[in-house]
Structure formats: structure tokens, C-alpha cells
Structure 1
Amino acid sequence: MATKRLARRLGLARSSGRARSGGRPAAGQRFGYLIVLDFEATCWRDGRRRGPEIVEFPAVLLNTSTGEIESEFHTYVQPQEHPILSEFCTELTGITQDQVDEGVPLNICLSQFMKWIQKMQKEKKIIFTTDVQSNATPEAKACTFVTWTDWDLGVCLQYECKRKQLRKPDILNSWIDLKATYRAFYNRKPKGLSGALQDLGIAFAGREHSGLDDSRNTARLAWRLICDGCVLKVTKSLDKVSNYFVSSLPLAL
């Protein structure tokens, strides 16, 4: 039994293709809900240094007690600086020119996203707080964001908003980097999101580099970590203040 527990702790034990729906989440979770994000952005085969623009903005709401995805947000976004997608970008992401042409500019996307956030706050009694000092109660559930690496919120959205002089919602200044969390918990470096899932015996569901599919699979991985005993904590904060509480969010933008 000790060997089996050690193997599970190191992520070496194989499991079924789905995250363990019957597993018990680790006690002491700081967050009742997680919102998983995985943006897709403009890109080019030649790798030239151009500022990436978000072209797909997905989010999935994960209940950390049940492992269920209870709600999703998704929209395609019109790139303004380089409005024509490269052939490489379409091949990689599966996103077409028609889809982004029919999408919305980033400022409208963020406004729509915040409306969805407010709806979730009302329906699920969600609050946003760091894990330093949780303000959650039995009625109110603490929530934070999850990404695979710091790129989505720490680079892509951060610098696109700066370039376009857009107000970025303050709640997007703190998040959990699940790649760093995975590496620390299982004591090994994952080979991408798909590789991290595969190492745990979980098959990637859907299309890689589809933002929505990547978000759903990242949520599945987060649930597996929880079931394996990992207490998820905020790993990155752009805020100067160590913790914050949001009871109501402005639509702004």
C-alpha cells in the first residue's frame, strides 16, 4: 500500500481515461470554484515578434467539491492590429477568418465576460479573494482563476490591454499556474497540457489548441490534482496589495 501511495503521489500510477469522478477532493481547499482560462491568439510560422492578440476567449467554471463544470463562457475576438489570421494560426487553432470576423473586439469581449462573471456571482454566491485570507463563508464560495502557465494573464492579456489602452478587470491580476502546481506536486516537469494528462492516464478530450477544449481539459487536470490531495493556491499576483475582496464588479470598459 505504501508503494502504491508513493506512486500516486509522484503521478506514476495510471488511472482510467477520465479524471476520478468518485475521488474525494483534498480537505482544506481554499477555493470552492475555479474559473479556467485558455486564450488562443494570433501567431505566425516565422515566429516574428508581433504582439499577440486574443482571438478566442473561453472560460469554464469548475466546482472543486464535485469536479463538475457548471458553466462556460466563450466568444471569438476580432484582432485589430493584425486583422487577417495567418494560415499557420488557422492550422494550429482551427479558428477561421470568418469566426474572428464575426467575433467582437477585445473591449466588448471583456465587458461580456464581466457580465457572465456577475451572473455567476449571483447564481453561485462566488467571491474573489486570494488564498492568504479567505473571506468565504458557507454561503459564499471563494473563487480564483486557473491557467496553464502564466502566459494567458501575465503576458497575452496584460500587454494587449496596455497596447490598446483598455482597462483590464482587476480580478484577472491573480491566478493559479497549474503547470507550476503540477510540477511541484508530482515532482516532475510536464510535457505540455496533453502530456500532463497522459502521464496521469487521462486522455485529452477534443482538439488541442482549441481554447475551449484546452480550458475543459485543464479543468479536468485541476480536479485530478485536487483528488490526489493537492490544495490549490494562487501562484501569481500582479496586485501590490496581498489580498482583495470583490463583492460587486463594475461592467466598465
Structure 2
Amino acid sequence: MHRNMTTSYRYWSNAHPFVSRRRIQKENICQKFDYFLIVDFEATCEKSTTINPQEVLAGQPHFEKCMDLFHEWMVKECLLSTKFAFITCGDWDFKVMLPAQCRLSGIPVPHYMKQWINIKKTFGEATGIYGHGLMKMLRMLNLKHIGRHHSGIDDCRNIANIVKELARVHQFTINGGLTQGNRTHI
């Protein structure tokens, strides 16, 4: 079912939500989703090292607690009873890092985090040019970069600006997911 209502954006970055709704006005495109949840995990590593999940960030709750808090936020905001989609800039956040951290922590990946929209793929669908990175997509859309690159919340704000621009001319669809064999888990 296509929605004629405005899509809202909610941000989740690092260990806590930045709860801010940003409404967009679509011209002729109806979106399938009530909400887009922009996600960007940040990893700090040294040159020539592998990025690995982190067990503990100094002074912050453990990953398991963060996931509990996130789920509580999803329930509080009534998002689980709506049509929503996570949006990431690439597949790495949900396809690599989240499953690795969940394995390390001994918890399952939440069912609602097993599919997402990769904005790079959507950018390619909408423009005919694959979005090789956040900065390139911003430049191609003549959008100003906000904040510091590779800062989780700033990257989420910039991704949201790309989403707003593309949503005017392109219908978003799920284009990423965790798979077992050839089947996408939903």
C-alpha cells in the first residue's frame, strides 16, 4: 500500500537516539514507508588494521544494554507498528558490523534490523550513477555538507538530506538484507 502522507525521519547514532522528526514534502512520489530511520555506526581504527566490534566503550553502556534501550525507544515511539525502513550509507553497518557485534555479545540480530535501504544503491537507481560515498552524493545533488565527516550524528544528518532530495523523485525500496543461502531474512 502506498502512503500519501509525509515520511518522517528519526535518527539513531552511536549509543543513543537523536529523536528529531524531519518532514519532507514529496512532489509526485508516494513512499511505501511511514518512517525512515537513518543509521550510521562509526568505528575508530588505526591504519592497516581490521575493524572489529568493540566490547565496551569507556563510560558507556555495554552493547546489549544499548540494544535494549534502542528497542525500548522503538516501542515508545510506536515504530514497530508502522511501516519503517532503516537507511544506511552502504551495507557495512547492518551486513557486517551489527551481526559481528551481536555474535560477540551472544545476542541475535533483531528481526527488524535484518533488512535496510542502502542509500548508495538508491542513489544509483535514482540518478543512474552509483553513489560511491557520502561526500560524492552530496556534491552531485548540490547539497552542503553539515558538520564533521565520519561523525555518526553528522553523517546521519547528511544522509537524511540526501534521502529528502531523492524522495522527491524516487520511490524507496528495501535493497539490503541479511541472507542465509539465497533467502533474505525478514
TM above 0.5, one fold?
yes
Q: Which runs of 5+ in 2 are unaligned?
A: 1-22
Asked whether the 8 Å contact 1:29–1:232 carries over to 2, the reply is yes
| Cross-structure match for 2:20 | none
Aligned length: 162
| Cross-structure match for 2:36 | 34
| Cross-structure match for 2:87 | 146
Give the whole-Å Cα distance in 1 for the aligned partners of 2:24 and 2:110: 36
Q: Which runs of 5+ in 1 are unaligned?
A: 1-20, 54-78, 84-99, 129-140, 245-253
Letter in 2 for 1:110: M
Pick the structure with greater CA Rg. Answer: 1
| Cross-structure match for 1:168 | 109
Structure number with higher relative contact order (C-alpha < 8 Å, ≥ 6 residues apart): 1
Q: CA deviation at 1:211?
A: 0.4
Name the CA shift for 1:190/1:103 in 2 (closer, same or farther; >3 Å): same
Q: CA deviation at 1:44?
A: 1.6
Letter in 2 for 1:214: D
Q: Can you list the C-alpha shifts for 1:216-235, whole angstroms capped at 9, x where unaligned?
A: 111111111011x1000000
| Cross-structure match for 1:17 | none
Find the residue that maps to 1:101 and give its secondary structure: coil
Q: CA deviation at 1:198?
A: 1.4
| Cross-structure match for 1:103 | 60
Asked whether the 8 Å contact 1:42–1:52 carries over to 2, the reply is no
Asked whether the 8 Å contact 2:177–2:185 carries over to 1, the reply is no
Find the residue that maps to 2:46 and give its secondary structure: coil
Find the residue that maps to 1:24 and give its secondary structure: coil
| Cross-structure match for 2:73 | 116
Q: CA RMSD in A?
A: 2.3
Give the whole-Å Cα distance in 2 for the aligned partners of 1:239 and 1:23: 34
| Cross-structure match for 1:43 | 45
Q: Can you list the C-alpha shifts for 1:118-148, whole angstroms capped at 9, x where unaligned?
A: 1111xxxx346xxxxxxxxxxxx41111101
Return the TM-score normalized by structure 1.
Answer: 0.58
| Cross-structure match for 2:52 | 52
Structure 1 segments of 4+ aligned residues over 4 angstroms from their partners: 239-244
Asked whether the 8 Å contact 1:26–1:231 carries over to 2, the reply is no
Asked whether the 8 Å contact 2:148–2:154 carries over to 1, the reply is yes
Give the whole-Å Cα distance in 2 for the aligned partners of 1:117 and 1:195: 31
